[in-house]
């Protein structure tokens, strides 16, 4: 009798367990499976969109080139270079049109492709996205001998170069044995005979170091010779066969009232901010180009190569075409100006561009204006690409839009 009761109770327990599994456990398993399938579908969409961006040149094939960019003329979106056969080599002109504003928040004077256009061309209407094109590793420079007054350093402060360069992976881990080449450019003042024919000459020196076990290297060459009026440093960093470059102004920041430097195709364009202070002429003394093969001298300016500000001035914009410039793969342009600094007299002033290329990255943020909603599931894919001979990491994040 007792044995039959135990059998009956055991049967009840087993039936109850099966019922609980059917009602509770199995739906949970199904929910997890649905989430997994949904995430895989999202990943497939992201992968397809990213492949189109990086492996297709779009239409027209050279849609990023030309003087007057019109977003409406882009019939198919793609960033691939139409000139080569290698994979993951992007057209720098197309990439430049993904930069909305310059470093001072002014609209891209060469034209901007709104994210909504790309969104529609790639059929991503049900999704939100963010696109970044960043340096493959992080390079920072700390001035160990900063000028007391960066806007007006003394001759000795300009001559003394002492920077601690730190190289890290983008996750923060230090990179030992990275090769750090510092290309130090300076505008040297040369006094002419009897106070006339004074001039400024662009000179450069180079120092190479390797990062130590914690990713640090000290750039401390012999003091610069002559009488420098301005100094900037291009830091070329190599880890194996991967290269990146960034720039440092000795005065701490770019002189934002001189000009904005832009390049599309074979054309170099300078624009000046409205109501620039002071409004006097900025004469172009010289232009040099930094490429993966080294520094190439491009141009010596004339009296006609100037830019200034004025409501009706014909010189508030400067443009010049240099045949074959695009095929040199220029990563950074170095300009030497003869200009009046704010609150100072006329002097030699150095600038680099375009933004943000001279800081090591190409696109800092591009995509949905409202950003990724809190808690929204998304996928992030990364690919290594080449632009103008330099290595970059493309980071693409995609998520499903939420509609109320």
Could you give the domains of the chain?
1-135+361-404 (no CATH), 138-358 (2.60.40.10)
Cβ 185 vs Cβ 201: under 8 Å: no
Lowest mean pLDDT among 6-20, 25-39, 105-119: 6-20
User: For residue 143, what are the β-bridge partners?
Assistant: 163
Q: In what order do the strands lie in the sheet containing 137-143? A: 137-143, 163-169, 216-219
Residue 12 is predicted with a pLDDT of: 44
Does the pLDDT of residue 346 top 90, yes or no? Answer: no
Q: pLDDT over 70 for what percent of the chain?
A: 88
Residue 194: pLDDT band (50, 70, 90) is low
Does the pLDDT of residue 345 top 90, yes or no? Answer: no
Q: Any residues with CB less than 8 A from the CB of 263 and at least 6 apart, and which? A: 92, 96, 269, 325, 330, 333, 353, 354
Does the pLDDT of residue 316 top 50, yes or no? Answer: yes
Residue 403 is predicted with a pLDDT of: 58
Residue 267 is predicted with a pLDDT of: 93
- Sign of the alpha-carbon dihedral angle for 240, 231, 150, 341: negative
Q: What angle do CA 24, 27, 28 make, to 5 degrees?
A: 80
Q: pLDDT over 90 for what percent of the chain?
A: 62
Cβ 168 vs Cβ 137: under 8 Å: yes
Establish whether the linkage from the previous residue to 325 is cis, with ω within 30° of 0. Answer: no
How are beta strands 242-249 and 306-307 bridged, if at all? unpaired
d(Cα 381, Cα 396) in Å, to the nearest integer? 5
Lowest mean pLDDT among 14-28, 151-165, 174-188: 14-28
User: Phi, psi (5° rounding) for residue 127?
Assistant: -130, 160
Query: What does the pLDDT average to over 233-252?
Result: 92
Task: Give the pTM.
Answer: 0.85
Query: What does the pLDDT average to over 265-269?
Result: 92
User: For residue 232, what are the β-bridge partners?
Assistant: 185, 249
Lowest mean pLDDT among 43-47, 80-84, 110-114, 236-240: 80-84
Does the pLDDT of residue 376 top 50, yes or no? Answer: yes
Q: What single-letter DSSP state applies at residue 269?
A: E
- How high does pLDDT run on average in the chain? 86
Residue 236 is predicted with a pLDDT of: 94
Only one residue has tokens 């790639």, namely: 122
Helix (H) / strand (E) element for 243: namely: strand 242-249
d(Cα 289, Cα 234) in Å, to the nearest integer? 11
Residue 362 is predicted with a pLDDT of: 95
Does the pLDDT of residue 272 top 90, yes or no? Answer: no
Residue 195: pLDDT band (50, 70, 90) is low
d(Cα 402, Cα 404) in Å, to the nearest integer? 7
Does the pLDDT of residue 318 top 90, yes or no? Answer: yes
pLDDT tens for 200-219 read: 999 999 999 999 999 999 99
Residue 387: pLDDT band (50, 70, 90) is very high
Lowest mean pLDDT among 73-87, 159-173, 289-303, 363-377: 363-377
Cβ 389 vs Cβ 328: under 8 Å: no
3-state secondary structure (DSSP) of residue 189: strand
Residue 9 is predicted with a pLDDT of: 40
């Amino acid at each position: 009798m007792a044995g039959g009761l135990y059998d009956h109770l055991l049967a009840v327990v087993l039936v109850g367990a099966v019922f609980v599994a059917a009602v509770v456990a199995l739906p949970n398993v199904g929910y997890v499976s649905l989430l997994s399938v949904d995430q895989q579908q999202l990943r497939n969409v992201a992968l397809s969109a990213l492949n189109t961006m990086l492996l297709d040149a779009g239409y027209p094939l050279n849609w990023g080139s030309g003087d007057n960019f019109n977003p409406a003329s882009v019939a198919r979106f793609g960033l691939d270079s139409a000139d080569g056969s290698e994979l993951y080599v992007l057209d720098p002109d197309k990439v430049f049109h993904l930069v909305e504003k310059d470093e001072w928040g002014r609209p891209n004077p060469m034209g901007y492709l709104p994210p909504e256009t790309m969104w529609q061309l790639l059929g991503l209407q049900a999704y939100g996205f963010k696109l970044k094109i960043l340096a493959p590793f992080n390079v920072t420079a700390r001035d160990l001998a900063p000028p007391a007054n960066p806007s007006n350093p003394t001759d000795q402060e300009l001559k003394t170069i002492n920077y601690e360069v730190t190289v890290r992976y983008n996750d923060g881990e230090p990179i030992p044995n990275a090769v750090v080449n510092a290309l130090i450019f300076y505008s040297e003042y040369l006094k002419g005979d009897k106070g006339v024919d004074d001039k400024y000459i662009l000179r450069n020196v180079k120092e190479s170091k390797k990062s130590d076990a914690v990713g640090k290297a000290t750039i401390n060459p012999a003091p610069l010779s002559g009488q420098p009026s301005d100094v900037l440093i291009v830091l070329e960093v190599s880890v194996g066969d991967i290269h990146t470059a960034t720039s440092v102004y000795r005065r701490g920041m770019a002189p934002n009232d001189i000009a904005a430097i832009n390049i599309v195709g074979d054309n170099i364009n300078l624009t000046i901010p409205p109501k620039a202070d002071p409004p006097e002429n900025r004469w172009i003394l010289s232009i040099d180009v930094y490429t993966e093969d080294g520094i190439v001298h491009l141009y010596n300016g004339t009296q006609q190569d100037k830019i200034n500000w004025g409501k009706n001035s014909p010189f508030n914009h400067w443009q010049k075409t240099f045949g074959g410039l695009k095929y040199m793969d220029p990563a950074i342009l170095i300009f030497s100006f003869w200009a009046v600094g704010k609150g100072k007299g006329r002097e030699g002033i150095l600038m680099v561009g375009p933004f943000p290329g001279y800081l090591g990255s190409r696109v800092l943020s591009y995509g949905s204006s409202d950003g990724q909603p809190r808690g929204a599931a998304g996928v992030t894919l990364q690919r290594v690409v080449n632009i103008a001979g330099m290595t970059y990491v493309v980071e693409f994040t995609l998520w499903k839009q939420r509609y109320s």
